[in-house]
Structure 1
Amino acid sequence: MSKTVLISGAGIAGSTLAYWLGRNGFDVTVVERAEMPRSSGNPVDVKGPAVDVVEGMGVMPRLRAAASQVERMSFVDATGRERSGLRLSAFQGGAGDREVEVARADLAAILLGAAREQAEIRWADSISEIAQDADGVDVVFGNGDRGRYDYLIGADGLHSNVRGLVFGPEAEFLRHLGMYAATLPVGRAFGNEREVIMFNRPGQAISVHPSKGKAVAAFMFRHDAVPGLGHRDLDGHKRLIAEAFSGPIGIFGDLLDQVDAADDLYFDSVSQVRLPRWSEGRVALLGDAGSCLSLFGDGSTLAIAGAHTLAEELIRTPDHPHTAFAAYERRHRKLVEPKQRGMRVASTLMVPATSAGIVVRNAVTRFLR
């Protein structure tokens, strides 16, 4: 009898894992809280170790068709005048020109399309109770259904429900890095199709990515953690963005009107998740649920790579969860930990905290053109 696996989260990590396990004989179910895939999110890279994974899934032609044509980032003032810039090839990974940048929603949809061929997807549902023993995991779903599985994988993001039910309260593992970020689709790009435009004030940044005809704006700003701000509080998110970007912002002012009117706004803290271990018995965490890199750490690339590594280890030792999870964690931490350590450097480049920092960043990036 094939092993049964329940994956919480139909995002990038969950869909990739569902594909590889289903393709290799596992009986896979994916449960997703949302009613449908979300349409927002900044473009992300598929690079380095993730390239071989998506090529093995047969989805690279679709990713290339959806990929952006962006080649450079221009740092501008409030009038749109360029002050500096750099070619994005400076951030290319080990897979060179095989790498692609694609809208997060497109990447998630393409990976989910592959996963649907290998797994059952339960939309608009979640997990409310988890109990496990040496032989399996018993789950109660939000709609009252019950199930028993050989393995449960939490691939449900920064605010993981599985992590909370099995490993403990979010506050024990989530570290706010002093910044918030929001993204939403907007009516137009500010540059050409090969250029990301970024405007900075001290501790703040607004970027507009052309994203192959579907422009996406991002708002990033340094701010202490706001007590009681929920990650689904749309009105609270809009208020915080409006307060952070009050005052003249030149040609970018109309973007705030689009934020105010948005009904699909991605918003969250820029945070890290750090746990001493990523598994407990027959339950394991994957992607942001276990090791969030948030915004500046190649999170999508590592989610894909981590999902493939976890699948490999479960396929190798399907009857020995401790062995499989330990090997997955040992291998994948080698990729994750350097990225977590480098996040502050990346945030300094993108969102300098002071006027002097903006001047220095612009001066340095002139040499990277």
Structure 2
Amino acid sequence: MSRSILISGASIAGPTLASWLSRAGWEVTVVERFDHVREQGQNIDVRGVGRQVIRRMGLEDAVRAAHTGETGTEFVDEHGRAVATFAGGTDDTSGGTAELEILRGQFAKILYEHSKDGAEYVFGDQITALHDDGSGVDVEFQRGSRRRFDAVVLAEGLRSRSRALIMPDARIHELGLYNAFLAIPRTGDDTDRWRVLPCGRGRMLSLRPDNLGTTQASLSFISDVRGLDRLGHDDVAAVLRATFADVGWVAPRVLAELDNGSLYFEDIGQAKLGTWSRGRIALLGDAAHCASPVSGMGTTLALAGAYVLAGELAGHDDPRDAFARYEQVLRPLVTKAQQLPPGAPRIAHPRSRLQLAAFRTAVRVAASPLLGRVSGLAGKYMTPPAEAITLPEYPIPAAAA
């Protein structure tokens, strides 16, 4: 007898879980509050065990074909002159620029296309109530009719609304960092490197290439004030313009594009929860164990977590046993990922001129062929622990790419 599962969230973790579980014989439904697969989004990378998952899915070539074209990382000064340059990674894990870089929206579309034939997708709806009676979960939706499932997985974001239905006491570990992303028109001055400008006073500006003919810009800053991410677009734009008004290089160009419709603004944090499940309801991805973009591990955790959860659900009759085993297998990887490099994120957002000078000296040392090897700085700050666990082998056939 087939078993049914509801997955909330159609970004990275949700469709990956849907793909594996449908191949294992589950009846899979995915609900997504947006009315379509969101194709916009910043650069993300696929590393270590995450690469292993997409290989097992037969998707590595598809992801590689959508590569952003980024070839390395370059720290610059306020005039855009290179301070230190790092080549892109040449293996599964290393480098500030990974060997596989892709836009989040394009990756989400690849995973959706790979999973849609085996799963029912419901767009433009969301969960409003969850009733777990021990033998199944009755789910209420904002628009759709009430339905019953054998298990529910919330594959949502760091500040998941549905998570609050089962874990109202969950708290976010705030990092005191805001990040804004937007796509801006590409110019002849843009390069194929991720160019990063620490601006002083706790601010950073960067540009990254993409494969769409535009450039991905980000503006980040340290702040002790929480809640700015809940402001409307106009107020967020005003905050960014005031914060970066005196910054040189390409700041005026980026600020001029804040109203072009692509702005995404978030308050960066981590989800450090004591458990990732309640009864027949489990958490996955950022809702369970967000390590933050600072870690460089978000996509890897989403992929590995979905794969492990699917494998355990396929091998256990009771979802609660599967959830316990999923957490046991994945928790060591999450623990490593959430241990950010020393001083991060503030070390890369220096406040004073002295701190900025010290940071530039440090990246010069790290980029030096000789001093970098001796100091180990490049490895410490630019190589996430994406191979911290060995992925189990589960007897689930992967769908054809």
Query: Residue in 2 aligned with 1:351?
Result: 349
Q: Is the Cα contact below 8 Å between 1:231 and 1:267 reproduced in 2?
A: no
Q: Please give the secondary structure, in 1, of the residue aligned with 2:257.
A: helix
Residues 275 and 41 of structure 1, relative CA distance in 2, 3 Å threshold: same
Query: Residue in 2 aligned with 1:211?
Result: 210
Spell out the pairing of 1:177-192 with structure 2 (5 A cutoff): 177-188=175-186
| Partner Cα distance (1:131, 1:343) in 2 | 40
1:105 and 2:105 equivalent?
A: yes
Residues 94 and 322 of structure 1, relative CA distance in 2, 3 Å threshold: farther
TM-score between both structures, scaled by the size of structure 2: 0.85
More helix by proportion, 1 or 2? Answer: 1
* Structure 1 residues 301-333: Cα deviation after superposition (integer angstroms, max 9, x where no partner): 11101110110110110x212211111011111
| Partner Cα distance (2:347, 2:91) in 1 | 12
Q: Which runs of 5+ in 1 are unaligned?
A: none
1:124 counterpart letter in structure 2: G
1:274 and 2:276 equivalent?
A: no
* Structure 1 residues 260-288: Cα deviation after superposition (integer angstroms, max 9, x where no partner): x1323221111011111000000000010
Q: Please give the secondary structure, in 2, of the residue aligned with 1:67.
A: coil
2:358 counterpart letter in structure 1: V
Query: Residue in 1 aligned with 2:42?
Result: 42
Query: Residue in 1 aligned with 2:327?
Result: 329
| Partner Cα distance (2:82, 2:122) in 1 | 47
Residues 161 and 335 of structure 1, relative CA distance in 2, 3 Å threshold: same
| Partner Cα distance (1:21, 1:93) in 2 | 27
* Structure 1 residues 140-172: Cα deviation after superposition (integer angstroms, max 9, x where no partner): 111141100001000011121221111115xx4
Q: Is the Cα contact below 8 Å between 1:84 and 1:363 reproduced in 2?
A: no
| Partner Cα distance (2:98, 2:229) in 1 | 39
1:305 and 2:304 equivalent?
A: yes
1:174 counterpart letter in structure 2: I
Query: Residue in 2 aligned with 1:262?
Result: 260
Q: Please give the secondary structure, in 1, of the residue aligned with 2:294.
A: coil
| Partner Cα distance (2:214, 2:119) in 1 | 30
Q: Is the Cα contact below 8 Å between 2:39 and 2:109 reproduced in 1?
A: no
CA apart distance, 1:105: 1.3
1:157 and 2:157 equivalent?
A: yes
| Partner Cα distance (2:360, 2:348) in 1 | 10
Query: Residue in 1 aligned with 2:289?
Result: 291
1:289 counterpart letter in structure 2: A
Spell out the pairing of 1:240-259 with structure 2 (5 A cutoff): 240-259=239-258
| Partner Cα distance (1:78, 1:98) in 2 | 25
- Select which of 354, 361, 370 maps to 1:363: 361
| Partner Cα distance (1:232, 1:38) in 2 | 21
- Number of corresponding residues: 363
* Structure 1 residues 4-41: Cα deviation after superposition (integer angstroms, max 9, x where no partner): 01000001011110110011111000000112233432
More deviation in 137-146 or 234-243? 234-243
Q: Which runs of 5+ in 2 are unaligned?
A: 368-401
CA apart distance, 1:221: 0.6
CA apart distance, 1:94: 7.3
CA apart distance, 1:104: 1.2
1:8 counterpart letter in structure 2: S
| Partner Cα distance (2:3, 2:197) in 1 | 51
State the superposition RMSD in angstroms: 2.3
| Partner Cα distance (1:84, 1:90) in 2 | 19
Q: Please give the secondary structure, in 1, of the residue aligned with 2:345.
A: helix
1:38 counterpart letter in structure 2: R
1:243 counterpart letter in structure 2: A
Q: Please give the secondary structure, in 1, of the residue aligned with 2:168.
A: coil
CA apart distance, 1:242: 1.8
Spell out the pairing of 1:55-94 with structure 2 (5 A cutoff): 55-89=55-89, 93=93
